A and B are shown apart, each in its own frame.
Chain A
Amino acid sequence: MLDGNAIAGLLVEVFGAELTTATGVCANCNASAPVGELAVYLRAPGAVARCRNCDAVLMVVVDVRGAHCVDLRGFAALA
């Protein structure tokens, strides 16, 4: 397990902006944390970010034939 810093470059690729200082709110437990502090797993297919409070999946980024597929449904808010 790593943290959100490890996907800072990937997030710039996907969103075109630095995102690790943004605050994410977990849709499951409502905990909020900077993206840089999320628990990140790179050994899953793609990159998975989980809530440190309840372990819910917040974000998944998978590379499919050269295109990034991004699932952000775990966030109630990301700003």
Chain B
Amino acid sequence: MARAALPGRLTWQLADVVELIDETPRVRSIVLDLHEWRGHRAGQHVDVRLTAEDGYQAQRSYSIGSAPEDGHLLLTVERLDDGEVSPYLVEELRGGDKLELRGPIGGYFVWEQSDGGPLFLVAGGSGVVPLRSMLRHHAAIDSDVPVRLLYSARALDDVIYREELTRLGDRDGVGVRYTLTRDRPAGWSGYRRRVDREMLGEVAWPVAERPLVYVCGPTSFVEVVSSTLVELGHEPRRIRTERFGATGG
């Protein structure tokens, strides 16, 4: 099991904002150039810190959406209306600005080839961000580990990385399924409800194949998905979860 201790201390550094990508009306990706970066593993996050002119600081964690093999670090941020940090990152930040961050952080919600599979990734909303890193890493190393992604979003316009996920899902051994919980376009053939037992029974790998599961999303989503998977007979120790909640923003 990978338990590589991070050497030394976590230090804050200034990253250059090189590109901003509007993913959905509420979600923006921030492409960053870092001067001192020792690389990351798929699924890790960074802490971002904003400092006001009066010295007040606010800090939040954001998952890394890029693969370790990508040239730049990509964070994808959803704007929370009452947030302190995300409205600035989604609406105010400009190319050429500096952003203070530290990382990479976290060793638990991480996938590497040596962890094996088959992989079952379950995303609720912007919980897809670290799973995108895993999928890109999986593609970059040409992994033969079979992988399925189930992605729950409110509507098709809320699906982050849609075109890219379609491309990644076209690879052999990779499957991408969506469920849209609120609005569906005409002729939508995917799921049209919240993730439930029946859906997980259809989309997850059979219990006998002992899939390695990663679930990321809002706390309530993660609780439902992980407990339902356990009810279906999946091994709790092979279900890794990451929650974000209203304390973020």
Partner of B107, one of A8, A13, A37, A42: A8
Q: Does B189 contact A (CB under 8 A)?
A: no
Q: Does A67 contact B (CB under 8 A)?
A: no
**Pairwise interchain contact B108-A17, C-beta atoms closer than 8 A:** no
Give chain A interface residues in 23-67, CB to chain B under 8 Å: 34-37, 42-43
Partner of A12, one of B9, B108, B243: B9
**Pairwise interchain contact B3-A21, C-beta atoms closer than 8 A:** yes
CA distance A12 to B108 in the complex (A): 13
**Pairwise interchain contact B242-A5, C-beta atoms closer than 8 A:** yes
**Pairwise interchain contact B9-A21, C-beta atoms closer than 8 A:** no
Q: Does A2 contact B (CB under 8 A)?
A: yes
Q: SS class of chain B's interface: helix, strand, loop or mixed?
A: loop
**Pairwise interchain contact B245-A36, C-beta atoms closer than 8 A:** no
CA distance A5 to B240 in the complex (A): 10
Report chain B residues within 8 Å CB of A43: 247
CA distance A12 to B241 in the complex (A): 20
**Pairwise interchain contact B108-A6, C-beta atoms closer than 8 A:** no
Minimum CB distance partner of B103 in chain A: A9
How many contacts between A and B, using CB within 8 angstroms? 75
Partner of B243, one of A2, A8, A20, A21: A2
Beyond A1-B219, A17-B6, A21-B108, is A6–B241 a contact (Cβ under 8 Å)?
no
Give chain B interface residues in 84-115, CB to chain A under 8 Å: 102-103, 105-109
How close is A19's CB to chain B, nearest CB, in angstroms?
8
Q: Does B10 contact A (CB under 8 A)?
A: yes
CA distance A1 to B103 in the complex (A): 23
Q: Does B40 contact A (CB under 8 A)?
A: no
Number of interface residues of B (CB under 8 A): 27
- Of the listed residues A18, A21, A36, the one surrounded by the most CB atoms of chain B closer than 10 A to its CB is A18
Report chain A residues within 8 Å CB of B106: 5, 8-9, 18, 20, 36
Partner of B4, one of A6, A12, A18, A22: A18
How close is A78's CB to chain B, nearest CB, in angstroms?
13
Q: Does B47 contact A (CB under 8 A)?
A: yes
How close is B48's CB to chain A, nearest CB, in angstroms?
10
CA distance A51 to B102 in the complex (A): 28
Minimum CB distance partner of A22 in chain B: B3
**Pairwise interchain contact A5-B247, C-beta atoms closer than 8 A:** no
Report chain B residues within 8 Å CB of A13: 9-10
CA distance A2 to B105 in the complex (A): 16
Question: What is the 8 Å Cβ interface bit string for chain B, positions 228-249, against chain A (1 contact, 0 not)?
Answer: 0000000000001111110100
How close is B91's CB to chain A, nearest CB, in angstroms?
24
In the complex, given contacts A5-B61, A12-B6, A12-B10, what are 16 additional A-B residue pairs having Cβ atoms less than 8 angstroms apart?
A1-B219, A2-B219, A2-B243, A2-B247, A3-B242, A5-B108, A6-B61, A8-B106, A9-B61, A12-B9, A18-B6, A20-B108, A35-B108, A36-B107, A36-B240, A42-B247
